[in-house]
Amino acid sequence: MTLVRFISADGQSTSEVNAKPGDRLLDLAQTDGQPLEGTCEGQMACSTCHVHVDPGDFAKLPRAEEMEDDMLDLAADVTRYSRLACQIWLTEELDSLTVRIPDAVHNMQGR
């Protein structure tokens, strides 16, 4: 089990979900009602699933592939801890993962 923690763009609300190995971060986020559109459904063609991984958790994840990095170059509010949620699968070894929803997503939703 991995405890996945989603932090809202304004940092005001936190949501925790239990994930199984093999679960994809984007699916978990959407099931939890997080504002990640994931328009291309994991084809690495949209970057609307962009999240900021907690700096302490970032190194626990496999490195992003070149295509993911290229896509992130086009996203707004990118940091060195940015990842595409559609490219993150949870594993047995990962006991917890904290990610924050970027501001740009927040704004796009008009909230």
- The residues binding ligand FES (CB under 6 A) are 26, 38-49, 71, 84, 86
CB closer to ligand FES out of 69 and 92: 69
CB closer to ligand FES out of 16 and 70: 70
The set of residues, in sequence order, having a beta carbon less than 8 Å from that of 37 and lying 6+ positions away, is 46, 48, 49, 105, 108
CB closer to ligand FES out of 71 and 92: 71
Burial class (CB in 10 A: 0-12, 13-18, 19+), 35: middle
CB closer to ligand FES out of 2 and 47: 47
Nearest-CB residue for ligand FES: 86
- The Cα–Cα gap between 9 and 100 comes to 6
For residue 3, which amino acid is it? L
Nearest Cα neighbor of 36 from 64, 7, 59 is: 7
Three-state DSSP state, 31: helix
Q: Considering the complex, what minimum distance in angstroms separates the CB of residue 50 from ligand FES?
A: 8
Q: Considering the complex, what minimum distance in angstroms separates the CB of residue 61 from ligand FES?
A: 15
Q: Considering the complex, what minimum distance in angstroms separates the CB of residue 40 from ligand FES?
A: 3
Q: Considering the complex, what minimum distance in angstroms separates the CB of residue 47 from ligand FES?
A: 5
